[in-house]
Amino acid sequence: MDHDNATRKDFLKAAGAVSLGGAFLAACGSSSSSGSTEAPATLADADTAVASGGGSTETIKVGLLNALSGVLSITEKSIYDGSMLAIEQVNAAGGVNGRMLEPITEDYASDFTIAVQKAQKLLTEDKVAIVIGGYTSASRVAMIPTFQKNNALFFYGTYYEGLECDPNTFYGGATPNQFLVDYVPWILENLGKSIYIVGSDYLYPRTVSAIVQKLAKDNGGSIVGDQYFPLGTTDFGSVIADIGAKKPDVVFSNLVGDSTPAFYKQFRAAGYTPDKLPIAATVTTEVEVQAMGAENAAGNYMTSTYFQSLDNPANTAYVAAMKAKYGEDTVTHMPQVGTYDAVWLFANAAAKIDGDITTEALSAALVGATYDENPEGQPITVLANHHCNHPSYVGMANADGQYDVVATFAPTDADPFPSVIVPENKRPTCPTPFKPL
């Protein structure tokens, strides 16, 4: 049995979304593509570093694939900025055995069909050594078959719903055992037992909803309602009215992109305040808080492996470097840090390779690769299951647009099929090829 995909199908079935993947991809945007997109001005900084670096004149091409326009750009532009900072730092430190990293940027414009086309271009025309990027799970699962077909590697830096461990994919972000398994019991103990779930309508929010429902039930909680909305939705009057009718103790938000600021603003305008009905989120990072205004987020909660407010030397240096490069108003956040770390993990792995950086050599070198200056506050290492270790925190948004840490959980290795969620007889041996539903 293909345990990886059977397990994902089980959870999507529980969330009422077995056929969601293909339908969502088809409906999410145009299939047309205009070829290479002009890179943002920040690319010039890296070009300067490449041109001025010492060592070999032969560069190592790195594909950076993000939604730099469209409904996801509110978050993905800043993710891209984190990867560009890492490339600049790697090059300033001498590159990879004297070879500079050369970023090749593509904008998939928040359209997952275009994401597939851009990934194909980066691999076959630009011949990059690796592609780093993506953000939503819908973009990831749309692109994975392209990397499988081309025997190439993809480094995905964002936390996600787990339930996969593809051989052609490395996962820099957290899995549910690192950001949900402790979070849901904490919510039930500290915020209330009845939960109303609101999310965007695609793979990540649907699967996380199924996981949250199981964890809530196992820990004495209940789900009084759940609703999902297409990416880009900005009118939440109907669901806010339903929340008022159902009277939950807490609203669990898996909204993504432009929808997040819109929901929070309308929720606050409807008279709901965190002292009476808090929001506990998984995707409301500092960049979404900045977009909505701190006054609309203050007092609500977020789970994360990283907050900008973390007090450790690596994070202090990281935040200072981001602000120096992109301006004092720049905020840092979890998916950005995951992608920043991914660039460094790739560079450190590539440095161990004697000779050509082939897919086989790079895949072997990535397992065990470590980056000591991880802004999360501990060294990050790539595990044999192609995932990484992470700490875990709960933050409460404050009036300054940052999160104050109110709970800290023990650091854990990623387990994309944790036993609290997946029965032992359905746990695959990782890595195992992922097949989209």
Q: Which CATH number fits domain 3-174+311-390+418-426: 3.40.50.2000, 3.40.50.280, 3.40.50.2300, 3.40.190.10?
A: 3.40.50.2300
pLDDT tens, residue by residue, 265-283: 999 999 999 999 999 999 9
Look up residue 388 and give its DSSP letter: B
| Residue 350: pLDDT over 80 | yes
Q: How many CB atoms lie within 10 A of CB 92?
A: 12
The residue-averaged pLDDT of 326-342 equals: 98
Asked if residue 220 lies in contact with residue 193, where contact means CB atoms within 8 angstroms, the answer is yes
Collapsing DSSP states into helix, strand and coil, what is residue 303? Answer: strand
CA nearest neighbour of 87 among 329, 340, 333, 316: 340
| Residue 29: pLDDT over 80 | no
Q: What is the pLDDT of residue 168?
A: 98
Q: What is the pLDDT of residue 21?
A: 37
C-alpha distance from residue 421 to each of 25, 175, 318, 394 (Å): 26, 12, 34, 21
| Residue 30: pLDDT over 90 | no
Structure tokens at 109: 């414009």
Q: What is the pLDDT of residue 32?
A: 35
pLDDT tens, residue by residue, 395-434: 999 999 999 999 999 999 999 999 888 999 999 999 999 9
Q: For residue 235, what are the contacts with CB-CB under 8 A and spacing of at least 6?
A: 262, 266
Q: What is the pLDDT of residue 5?
A: 59
> What φ, ψ does residue 369 adopt, rounded to 5°?
-65, 145
Residue with tokens 């990072």: 285
Confidence category of residue 54, pLDDT binned at 50, 70, 90: very low
18 vs 164, more confident: 164
C-alpha distance from residue 265 to each of 82, 139, 262, 345 (Å): 27, 27, 5, 38
Q: What is the pLDDT of residue 420?
A: 86
pLDDT tens, residue by residue, 86-135: 999 999 999 999 999 999 999 999 999 999 999 999 999 999 999 999 99
What pTM was estimated for this model as a whole? 0.88
The per-residue DSSP string of 211-234 comes to HHHHHHHHTT-EEEEEEEE-TT--
141 vs 5, more confident: 141
Maximum pairwise Cα distance, the chain: 66
Q: What is the pLDDT of residue 437?
A: 65
Distance (Å, whole) CA 429 – CA 169 = 15
Q: Which of 19-33, 54-68, 368-382 has the lowest mean pLDDT?
A: 19-33
Average pLDDT for the chain: 90
Phi-psi region of 97 (alpha: psi -120 to 50; beta: other; left: phi over 0): left
Helix (H) or strand (E) holding 74: helix 73-92
Collapsing DSSP states into helix, strand and coil, what is residue 192? Answer: coil
Q: What is the pLDDT of residue 277?
A: 98
Look up residue 382 and give its DSSP letter: B
The residue-averaged pLDDT of 8-23 equals: 48
Is 178-304 in the same CATH topology as 3-174+311-390+418-426?
yes
Confidence category of residue 47, pLDDT binned at 50, 70, 90: very low
Confidence category of residue 7, pLDDT binned at 50, 70, 90: low
Q: What is the pLDDT of residue 421?
A: 85
Collapsing DSSP states into helix, strand and coil, what is residue 120? Answer: helix
Distance (Å, whole) CA 410 – CA 182 = 10
Q: What is the pLDDT of residue 56?
A: 58
pLDDT tens, residue by residue, 176-231: 999 999 999 999 999 999 999 999 999 999 999 999 999 999 999 999 999 999 99
Computed on alpha carbons and rounded to an integer, the radius of gyration of the chain in Å comes to 21
16 vs 33, more confident: 16
Distance (Å, whole) CA 190 – CA 172 = 30
CA nearest neighbour of 382 among 433, 430, 424, 312: 430
Confidence category of residue 175, pLDDT binned at 50, 70, 90: very high
Q: What is the pLDDT of residue 31?
A: 32
| Residue 14: pLDDT over 80 | no
Q: How many CB atoms lie within 10 A of CB 279?
A: 25
- Go through the chain and tell me how many residues it has: 437
pLDDT tens, residue by residue, 313-325: 999 999 999 999 9
With both helix axes pointing from N to C terminus, report the angle between 259-269 and 237-246 in degrees, rounded to the nearest 10.
50
Q: Which of 6-10, 204-208, 321-325, 336-340 has the lowest mean pLDDT?
A: 6-10
Query: How many percent of the chain have pLDDT more than 70?
Result: 87
| Residue 285: pLDDT over 90 | yes
Domain ranges of the chain: 3-174+311-390+418-426, 178-304
Residue with tokens 């997946």: 422
39 vs 167, more confident: 167
What is the side-by-side order of every strand in the sheet holding 222-229? Answer: 222-229, 194-200, 250-254, 279-281, 301-304, 389-397, 403-413
Confidence category of residue 38, pLDDT binned at 50, 70, 90: very low
Residue with tokens 């990623």: 414
Q: What is the pLDDT of residue 396?
A: 98
Distance (Å, whole) CA 394 – CA 391 = 11
Confidence category of residue 435, pLDDT binned at 50, 70, 90: confident
Q: What is the pLDDT of residue 355?
A: 92
Q: How many CB atoms lie within 10 A of CB 299?
A: 16
Q: What is the pLDDT of residue 178?
A: 97
Structure tokens at 431: 């890595």
**CATH homologous superfamily for 178-304?**
Response regulator (3.40.50.2300)
